[in-house]
Chain A
Amino acid sequence: MDRGPHRFSYDQIIGLIEPRSTVLDLGCGDGELLHQLMVTRDIRGRGVEIEEAKIRECLAKGISVFQGDLDEGLKEYATGSYDYVILNETLQALHQPVMLLREMVRVGRRAIVNFPNFGYLINRAQLLLLGRMPVNRDLPYEWYDTPNIHFCTRRDFVDLCSRLDIPVLRTIDLRHERHVPPRYANLFATECCFLLQGVDGRKSV
């Protein structure tokens, strides 16, 4: 999902991935993240993307990609078939984020989700002081033309993971590429990244 000039640093995600693992990147865009993972981590990866033009770019990079709609879930993918399932900057654009999260931790041994934190100070301030939906460098869209339909705050997401019984293994919270301690992240992080426990080690699967 293209959210404008700023995007969550790929390096942060790459740092979470073990070398030579298998990676499924949901909403992989032009395949740049997978490409970097192949080069730096020697992973075996594939992407899912809905836009034809992006698919052409993926293939041009030598990345295998499936044209599919994430709102249809991951029923084609066997349980535990990937080491990592990544959802990079796409959670907020899904019609059924809960369904997809469940699917991600089913298919992946780990899941990585990152999203813009709606609870960030400036967003709150814009809503509180101006009485308008936040529009800024991190959330560049007007409310009427945004692809982002399911915003949440970091705290909302933590709550959701606990309600879904998905263990959070690690979080990375950034304010414009700088780390923010978890304690203050809901207020000061612009971007949050969660490493979630997938199928192995979960009791009910």
Chain B
Amino acid sequence: MDSSGVGIVAPQDITFAGAGEDPLLLESGRRFGPITVRYETYGSLNADRTNAVLILHAFSGDAHAAGFHQQTDRRPGWWDTMIGPARPFDTNRYYVICSNVLGGCRGTTGPGSLDPATGRPYGLSFPVITIEDMVNVQHRLVRHLGIDRLLAVAGGSMGGMQALQWTISYPDAVAGAIVLASTARLSAQGIAFNAVGRNAIMSDAGWNNGDYYGKEPPARGLAIARMIGHITYLSDASMHTKFGRRLQEREQFGFDFSDQFEVESYLEYQGGTFVDRFDANTYIYLSKAIDYFDLGGKYGSLERAFEKTKSKFLVVSYSSDWLYPSYQGKEIVVALMRRRKDVSYTELDCPYGHDSFLLETERQGALIGSFLHTVLETVRRDG
């Protein structure tokens, strides 16, 4: 275990919108509850409650952003390189929160959770949710933790979408927003890849219209969906460097179908391990939430979407990211600039594709560390 990080951490749960409480009004118009939220926190909240940073995970992430659950854990949380003492999200200075999103399968209520009304898992009776719904749930969590205003929200990819939505939905509750490898609207290309992923799951006989809990799950379909997703997170250059055309177990072609290139075996492995920790229905619900995300469409124009935001923004894109290409980050920035919002933008020249925001920690970390520091100074000065 790496001792320089946040160390052993314990996930926590909070439940709200239960019987007799306000249900959550979803963007679809449906009312929904109860909702349990799984979250973790690192560092400590200061006396005036001004140092809280909410980390927003991407599609396949969870609340476990940093540290280890047990001494014996082989791997730390998904953004451990960025969160900890003297790391960019410095837990000596900031109180860092990360929660699993609504619709998730890692502790927060999602399609695999039990519906108290029936005593059975929701499956497809779980309501269709959006990025805004996720943010509304996070807002309730933040209020529960006694925080009126976050120092910052930060996330990559789907997490970046949530960060943008936070600044729009709760302009007074977010001093700074860090948006990495993200977009204000999913492109047709992005929707297309999501559709293929959903198709892979839905055409697995095990899926059974989402009703497979306690039975054989659609593991093959989910694994294929993950493989497709994973390809979109990498880049031509990173795949070439990582795998080239090497064969997995042979030097020469055997000219039979047992030949396997390293990249194939990698995808198989990624797909195989994914099914152990992810729920196929969550894949369907979250990918749909991403598909629906279009701030310009929802608010009339992207500029209008940002009209009421009061946050300071840091937008970062990555040169090799072809899933959420740089021009999409720039669109966010231009709309903000036109509304005279305070925004910084940079495109990091980085070979790892969309995954760069998880891998390029040093340069990205320097930007984020400086940005957080500036926001903290501003909050202290201007209140």
Residues on A lying within 8 angstroms of B by beta carbon are 46, 52, 55-56, 58-60, 62, 64-68, 76-78, 81
Which residues on B sit within 8 Å (CB–CB) of A78? 338
Q: In chain A, what residue has the closest Cβ to B345?
A: A66
Name the interface residues of B312-331: CB closer than 8 Å to any CB of A. Answer: 312, 314
Docked Cα-Cα span, A62 to B333, in Å, equals 18
A42 to chain B, nearest CB (A): 12
Given A52-B349, A76-B334, A76-B338, A64:B370 Cβ within 8 A? no
List 8 A-B pairs, minimum CB-CB distance, nearest first.
Answer: A62-B374, A59-B370, A67-B346, A60-B370, A76-B334, A64-B344, A55-B346, A66-B345
B110 to chain A, nearest CB (A): 37
Docked Cα-Cα span, A55 to B338, in Å, equals 21
**B363 with A64: CB separation less than 8 A:** no
Which residues on B sit within 8 Å (CB–CB) of A68? 345
**B342 with A64: CB separation less than 8 A:** yes
Q: In chain B, what residue has the closest Cβ to A56?
A: B366
Q: In chain A, what residue has the closest Cβ to B347?
A: A67
**A81 with B377: CB separation less than 8 A:** no
Which residues on B sit within 8 Å (CB–CB) of A65? 344-346
**A59 with B374: CB separation less than 8 A:** yes
Docked Cα-Cα span, A62 to B371, in Å, equals 7
Our pick among A59, A62, A66, A76 for the contact of B367 (Cβ within 8 Å) is A59
A114 to chain B, nearest CB (A): 25
Given A62-B374, A81-B340, A56:B347 Cβ within 8 A? no
Given A52-B348, A59-B344, A66:B370 Cβ within 8 A? no
Docked Cα-Cα span, A46 to B345, in Å, equals 11
Our pick among A46, A52, A62, A77 for the contact of B370 (Cβ within 8 Å) is A62
Residues on B lying within 8 angstroms of A by beta carbon are 312, 314, 333-334, 337-338, 340, 342-349, 363, 366-367, 370-371, 373-374, 377
Docked Cα-Cα span, A77 to B343, in Å, equals 13
Docked Cα-Cα span, A92 to B333, in Å, equals 28
Given A56-B363, A76-B334, A66:B343 Cβ within 8 A? yes
Which residues on B sit within 8 Å (CB–CB) of A52? 346-349, 363
B352 to chain A, nearest CB (A): 16
A41 to chain B, nearest CB (A): 17
Docked Cα-Cα span, A60 to B367, in Å, equals 8
Our pick among B337, B344, B374 for the contact of A77 (Cβ within 8 Å) is B337
A26 to chain B, nearest CB (A): 14
Q: In chain B, what residue has the closest Cβ to A22?
A: B340
Q: In chain A, what residue has the closest Cβ to B348?
A: A52
Which residues on B sit within 8 Å (CB–CB) of A56? 363, 366-367, 370
Docked Cα-Cα span, A58 to B346, in Å, equals 11
Which residues on B sit within 8 Å (CB–CB) of A59? 314, 344, 366-367, 370-371, 374
Our pick among B312, B333, B338, B348 for the contact of A66 (Cβ within 8 Å) is B333
Q: In chain B, what residue has the closest Cβ to A54?
A: B346
Docked Cα-Cα span, A141 to B7, in Å, equals 53
Docked Cα-Cα span, A62 to B378, in Å, equals 9
Which residues on B sit within 8 Å (CB–CB) of A58? 344
Which residues on B sit within 8 Å (CB–CB) of A46? 342
**A76 with B345: CB separation less than 8 A:** no
Which residues on B sit within 8 Å (CB–CB) of A62? 370, 373-374, 377
A105 to chain B, nearest CB (A): 19
Docked Cα-Cα span, A165 to B1, in Å, equals 68
Given A52-B363, A59-B370, A64:B343 Cβ within 8 A? yes
Docked Cα-Cα span, A65 to B346, in Å, equals 8
Which residues on B sit within 8 Å (CB–CB) of A81? 340
